[in-house]
Amino acid sequence: MRQLQDQISVPTRGRRLYDITPQVLNWASQSGLNNGLLTLYIQHTSASLLINENYDSDVLVDMEAFFARLVPDGDPLFIHTVEGPDDMPAHVRSALTQTSISIPFLNGKVALGQWQGIFLYEHRTMSNQRRVLLTLIGE
């Protein structure tokens, strides 16, 4: 068995879901491995990872609408406000979604379901440069 590790950098411009499926699939397909396990890890606490429907973009709009209502910006509940009204909500949104996701790699392909895409969820309203680490273990 072997392992490959790399990182991808994702520029974000505001709060929304960014489809990183093509970059991830492209990297994995060039690994030379046939079968194994791909793990994604995001090195941030105000952006997260999410497997979500990749077909109807309304799903992305609705997902954001739900989280915006569940964790409102500027909520008077929060005392950690020095970095802006969207900062603590970004930490909570990250806690409610994923920091790491592991997906099987089968016959040279990342085994996503038919309607699944891999998304980086930016929770801050400002622009950021986000880093996702990739680890593929297999043979």
Q: Does 88 bind a copy of itself (CB under 8 A)?
A: yes
SS3 of 40-68: the string is: EEECCCCEEEEEEECCCCHHHHHHHHHHH
Q: Which is nearer to a copy of itself, 26 or 43 (CB)?
A: 43
C-alpha radius of gyration, the chain, whole number:
16
| DSSP code, position 109 | E
CA distances from 133 to 9, 53, 72, 115, 130 (A): 9, 22, 29, 23, 10
Q: Does 27 bind a copy of itself (CB under 8 A)?
A: no
How many residues interact with a copy of itself (rule CB under 8 A)? 61
Q: Which is nearer to a copy of itself, 70 or 126 (CB)?
A: 70
Q: Which of 16, 30, 5 is nearest to 68 (CA)?
A: 16
Q: In angstroms, give the least distance from the CB of 13 to a copy of itself.
A: 20
Q: In angstroms, give the least distance from the CB of 45 to a copy of itself.
A: 5
Q: Does 50 bind a copy of itself (CB under 8 A)?
A: yes
Residues in the chain: 139
Q: Could you say which of 8, 10, 25, 112 contacts a copy of itself (CB under 8 A)?
A: 112
100-106 β-sheet, strand order: 2-13, 127-138, 36-42, 100-106, 109-110
Q: Does 45 bind a copy of itself (CB under 8 A)?
A: yes
Q: Footprint of a copy of itself on this chain (CB under 8 A)?
A: 1-3, 5, 35-37, 39, 41-46, 50-53, 56, 58-59, 61-63, 65-66, 69-71, 77-80, 82, 88, 91-92, 94-104, 106, 111-116, 131, 133, 135, 137-139
